[in-house]
Amino acid sequence: MSVLEGIPVDLSIVLGSTSLPIRQVLKMGRGAMIPLDCGHNDPTLVFVNNQLVAKGKVLVEGEHMSLEITEVVQRAR
């Protein structure tokens, strides 16, 4: 077992974002649609520990979703 295997990381996959008043969120029911600030061709962003590390696209096959990494983001030096 590698020493790295026990290190936790925070991974976020971001499809898009929006701002909504809490009263609107509380009124939502099952199946509610939330418009995002991106189009279907825009890349999905991958953050590790709140730092952008990659971009990709969501793939859907039946009941399963996955993320194809299309670009690894270079770190600013």
Question: Which tokens hold the place of 54?
Answer: 């990659």
Residue 37 within a domain? yes
- What mean pLDDT comes out for the span 14-32? 93
Q: What is the mean pLDDT of residues 24-31?
A: 94
pLDDT for 19 equals: 94
Q: Is residue 1 predicted with pLDDT exceeding 80?
A: no
Q: Is the pLDDT of residue 30 over 90?
A: yes
Which residues touch 58 (CB under 8 Å, ≥6 apart)? 15, 44, 65, 66, 67, 68
Pairing of strands 51-61, 64-72: antiparallel
Q: Is residue 35 part of a domain?
A: yes
What is the rounded CA–CA span in Å between residue 70 and residue 73?
10
Average pLDDT for residues 18-32, to the nearest whole number? 94
The number of folded domains in the chain is 1
- Assigned domain for 77 exists: no
pLDDT in tens, 33-75: 999 998 888 999 999 999 999 999 999 999 999 999 999 999 8
For residue 41, what is the domain's CATH number? 2.30.330.10
- Which of 26, 74, 29, 36 has its CA nearest to residue 52? 74
Domain holding 32, by residue range, is 3-72
Residue 20 lies in a domain: yes
Question: Is residue 66, in this structure, part of any structural domain at all?
Answer: yes
